[in-house]
Amino acid sequence: MAVDVFTEVVIDRPVLEVAAYVGDPANAPEWYANIESVQWRTEPPIAVGSRMDFVAHFLGRRLAYTYEVVELIPFERLVMRTTQGPFPMETSYAWSSAGEAITRMTLRNRGEPSGFARVAAPLLSAAMRRANQKDLAALPDSSSQCASQPKAMATVVVPPMETTAAMPVRVPVSETK
């Protein structure tokens, strides 16, 4: 079974600000709770072909993997694929305007686990979904490091496991810490 987790958040910040912050892999440890470190293998700034080594902790395990940027449309879309790691994974970000100074950001993680991870894919998906919800709900606080005005709410949209219909949930950012 494949892992395919889609999460969305609406952030009360301009697209350029959110995309610049989230689209810089060096910032990932600041807003991804599970990411311990990111080391560039190629020179920044990010571009198609850029490679970064990530170290994460997930489900009690230390994971080391290398991402390569395979698609980059500045301030609109970023797609990275693992070139080394526990199993092939693709992570994509998309940013679009949801109104004046409001950004809709989507995060999608998908991959094909093998071995025992393949059997545990439903549990892996559920854990990844929960982690993504928490990280994205906290993102407005993290992105405020790049701007002066804190915002109060984020909308996290999580599709049910068996359908593509999405369920929005309003999350007070202050309660996600």
Distance from chain centroid for Cα 111: 14
Q: What percent of the chain has pLDDT over 70?
A: 70
Q: Which fold has domain 3-175?
A: Alpha-D-Glucose-1,6-Bisphosphate; Chain A, domain 4 (3.30.530)
Q: Read out DSSP for 47-99?
A: -TT-EEEEEEEETTEEEEEEEEEEEEETTTEEEEEEEESSS-EEEEEEEEEEE
More confident residue, 169 or 37: 37
Give this prediction's pTM: 0.74
pLDDT higher than 90, residue 87: no
Residues whose CB falls within 8 Å of the CB of residue 164, separated by 6 or more in sequence, listed in order: none
Nearest by Cα to 51 from 69, 33, 32, 35: 69
Q: What confidence tens digit (pLDDT) does each residue in 136-153 have?
A: 877 754 444 444 333 333
